[in-house]
């Protein structure tokens, strides 16, 4: 575990930020919230967050006692907008703002650090799928601080995978110590629990797998870039360039088909899903219909109007993309062939 942290530290933090390891991405988000904000209080019971995310974002805040308040995302970045959030009427009741890096697209860490400083609100960034983007950032600007805690997932589906695992990345050494404390029952330097905590430690077994993943990391990054460049090229040939979103815009573990701004996206999505089913091509709405639609939050009306979230949930369909080493052009061709049959211009002609 120490060996894994020592090697992951410069990769994601450059010279300016450091990591602690965790049992999962969810454990990392939970520990980051406890470290920067502590558990919910009566005067600050809310966690402001987007609904266009994986359920773990909201569950982590819930485990710290917060009630999620869902805020709509920006139509271009698909993420919370720090400028718009400054004037949010619930901000004074929020103990924490959990920002999400959708599909690994990294939000502006500096802008969120400024938001936290100006508003006095604690901020956590759930950058579960952003290992590649964070490594690129640390490489390009090794002295750039990470002013708010950033949680990374090392789950099998994510770019740097060790089975189950996570990291908290942050420039604040004391803050990271509190995150490590939260991940270790609230213990720090003794067997006396002085803060809220749980068993969120990364196991030595997963750390060993993580070390092996780090051995192959540079090669994987290069292979993922080549793979997505080939997919993008093949998509262009099929007239799909405008509706396929891949790496490096988003993490290499995703390939998204964007239905586009059509009048009835839900109907188009259903038709595409049926067509993909017919072709034996798996597909997934990675963020479902938005977290606010999950049954666990069905009884809650603690949210803003979410038109962009609703539209994105109907528009963005995940299609299969392999890990770089396991990928063949024939696999990509099968997916693209199916998508080509649903090309918007062809659909118009079918009317």
Ligand X SMILES: *Cc1c(COP(=O)(O)O)cnc(C)c1O
Nearest distance in Å: CB 192, ligand X: 28
Q: Does 252 bind ligand X (CB under 6 A)?
A: no
Q: What x/- string results for residues 100 through 129 when contact with ligand X is judged by CB under 6 A?
A: x-------------------------x-xx
Looking only at Cα atoms, what is the longest distance across the chain? 71
Helix axes 204-215, 217-237, angle to 10 degrees: 60
Nearest distance in Å: CB 29, ligand X: 6
State which residue, 125 or 342, has the beta carbon closest to ligand X: 125
Phi first, then psi, for residue 122 (nearest 5°) are -75, 140
Q: How far apart are CA 291 and CA 285, in angstroms?
A: 12
In what helix (H) or strand (E) does residue 318 lie, and over which residues does it extend?
A: strand 316-318
**Of the candidates 13, 18, 24, 283, which one interacts with ligand X according to CB under 6 A?**
24
Preceding omega of 248 cis (within 30 degrees of 0):
yes
**Of the candidates 30, 51, 53, 113, which one interacts with ligand X according to CB under 6 A?**
53
Q: Cβ(194)–Cβ(180) under 8 Å?
A: no
Number of chain positions touching ligand X (CB under 6 A)? 14
Q: Does 54 bind ligand X (CB under 6 A)?
A: yes
Nearest distance in Å: CB 319, ligand X: 17
Selected range binding ligand X among 48-56, 70-78, 301-309, 321-329, rule: CB under 6 A: 48-56
Phi first, then psi, for residue 118 (nearest 5°) are -75, -40
Nearest distance in Å: CB 230, ligand X: 25
Q: How far apart are CA 211 and CA 256, in angstroms?
A: 30
Quote the strand ranges of 227-299, DSSP E. 244-245, 256-258
State which residue, 33 or 129, has the beta carbon closest to ligand X: 129
Q: What x/- string results for residues 150 through 189 when contact with ligand X is judged by CB under 6 A?
A: ---x-x----------x-----------------------
60 φψ region: left (φ > 0), alpha (ψ -120 to 50), beta (else):
alpha
List interacting residues with ligand X (CB under 6 A).
24-26, 53-54, 56-57, 100, 126, 128-129, 153, 155, 166
């Amino acid at each position: 575990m120490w060996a894994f942290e020592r090697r992951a530290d410069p990769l994601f933090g450059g010279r300016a930020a450091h990591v602690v390891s965790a049992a999962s991405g969810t454990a990392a988000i939970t520990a980051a919230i406890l470290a920067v904000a502590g558990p919910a209080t009566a005067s600050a019971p809310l966690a402001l967050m987007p609904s266009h995310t994986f359920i773990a974002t909201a569950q982590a805040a819930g485990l710290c006692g917060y009630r999620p308040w869902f805020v709509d995302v920006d139509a271009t970045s698909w993420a919370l907008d720090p400028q718009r959030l400054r004037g949010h009427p619930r901000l004074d009741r929020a103990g924490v703002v959990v920002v999400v890096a959708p599909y690994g697209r990294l939000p502006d860490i500096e802008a969120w650090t400024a938001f936290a400083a100006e508003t006095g609100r604690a901020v956590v960034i759930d950058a579960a799928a952003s290992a590649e983007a964070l490594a690129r950032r640390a490489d390009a600007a090794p002295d750039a601080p990470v002013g708010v805690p950033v949680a990374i997932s090392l789950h099998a589906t994510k770019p740097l995978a060790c089975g189950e695992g996570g990291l908290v990345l942050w420039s604040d050494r004391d803050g990271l110590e509190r995150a490590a404390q939260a991940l270790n029952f609230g213990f720090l330097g003794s067997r006396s629990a002085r803060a809220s905590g749980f068993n969120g430690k990364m196991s030595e077994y997963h750390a060993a797998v993580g070390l092996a993943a780090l051995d192959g990391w540079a090669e994987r990054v290069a292979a993922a870039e080549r793979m997505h460049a080939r997919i993008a090229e093949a998509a262009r040939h099929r007239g799909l360039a405008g509706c396929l979103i891949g790496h490096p815009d988003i993490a290499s573990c995703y390939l998204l088909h964007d239905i586009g701004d059509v009048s009835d996206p839900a109907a188009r999505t259903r038709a595409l899903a049926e067509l993909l089913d017919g072709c034996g091509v798996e597909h997934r709405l990675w963020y479902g219909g938005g977290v606010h639609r999950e049954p666990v939050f069905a009884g809650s009306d603690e949210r803003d109007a979410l038109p962009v979230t609703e539209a994105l949930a109907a528009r963005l369909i995940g299609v299969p993309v392999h890990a770089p080493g396991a990928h063949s052009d024939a696999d990509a061709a099968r997916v693209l062939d199916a998508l080509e049959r649903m090309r918007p211009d062809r659909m118009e002609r079918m009317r």
